[in-house]
Chain A
Amino acid sequence: AQSVTQPDIHITVSEGASLELRCNYSYGATPYLFWYVQSPGQGLQLLLKYFSGDTLVQGIKGFEAEFKRSQSSFNLRKPSVHWSDAAEYFCAVGLYGSSNTGKLIFGQGTTLQVKP
């Protein structure tokens, strides 16, 4: 069965420090991968997506993610975290193809806290 695992439930980093949020997926076909961010009281916003091509993808707000097929991973990174990045982050795999509908399978989420 398809699944997404975010091993870190909660991460705290200092402002200005680098960040890496981990995501592992289980899916037999070509994965379509997404990272979404959810701030308190806000809806989900897409940070970046991987469909094909270059395995290092750039997103909004200075985020990037690298798709590693051999590790079934799609980790999110940012070189320097800002206090406004404090939020919950969700990794998701999209199920496409003839028998699938594009529904997203989400990980449990990682809550990011930023220390001043």
Chain B
Amino acid sequence: GAGVSQSPSNKVTEKGKDVELRCDPISGHTALYWYRQRLGQGLEFLIYFQGNSAPDKSGLPSDRFSAERTGESVSTLTIQRTQQEDSAVYLCASSSRLPVDEQFFGPGTRLTVL
């Protein structure tokens, strides 16, 4: 079956512009996560969605970052007024309803802010 997909695969933008990154989770997966991977670094948790529960936004680095998810489907991560330090690969992952389960990762969106 299809895995997690993300679009675009690459995004180059100018400082100060807004960007939207999209994630399509695996069908039937209720949990969805966003992570950020800066060059040469490990992944940092950003935000988590689980069904209709309130999202866990504890990892968002500033109020310029926001995310939405419609039901148990697509999620969009929005970065407003991008800064150069926002340059990174943004990874999305999904997992099933089980209390403890593996996360399946998408290929990521590489964001470059000039």
Kindly state the separation between the CA atoms of A7 and B29 in the bound complex, as whole angstroms: 34
Are B43 and A90 closer than 8 Å at their CB atoms?
A: yes
Are B59 and A96 closer than 8 Å at their CB atoms?
A: no
Number of residues from A at the complex interface, CB < 8 A: 25
**A106, chain B: closest CB distance, angstroms:** 4
Q: Pick from A14-22, A41-49, A66-74, A78-86 the stretch touching chain B.
A: A41-49
Q: Mark A26-52, 1 if CB is under 8 A from B, else 0.
A: 000000101010000011111001010
| Binding site secondary structure of chain A | strand
Are A96 and B99 closer than 8 Å at their CB atoms?
A: yes
Identify B102's interface contact among A43, A49, A108, CB under 8 A: A49
Are B45 and A103 closer than 8 Å at their CB atoms?
A: yes
> Which residue on A lies nearest to B56, using beta carbons?
A101
Q: Which of A6, A101, A107 has the most CB of B within 10 A?
A: A101
Are B45 and A104 closer than 8 Å at their CB atoms?
A: yes
B residues contacting A by CB (< 8 A) are 4, 31, 33, 35, 40-45, 48, 50, 56, 59, 91, 93, 95, 99-108
- 29 A-B pairs (CB sep. < 8 Å): A42-B107, A43-B4, A43-B91, A43-B108, A44-B93, A45-B105, A90-B42, A92-B43, A96-B99, A101-B50, A101-B56, A102-B33, A102-B48, A102-B95, A102-B100, A102-B103, A103-B45, A103-B48, A103-B56, A104-B33, A104-B35, A104-B45, A104-B103, A106-B43, A106-B44, A107-B42, A109-B40, A109-B41, A109-B42
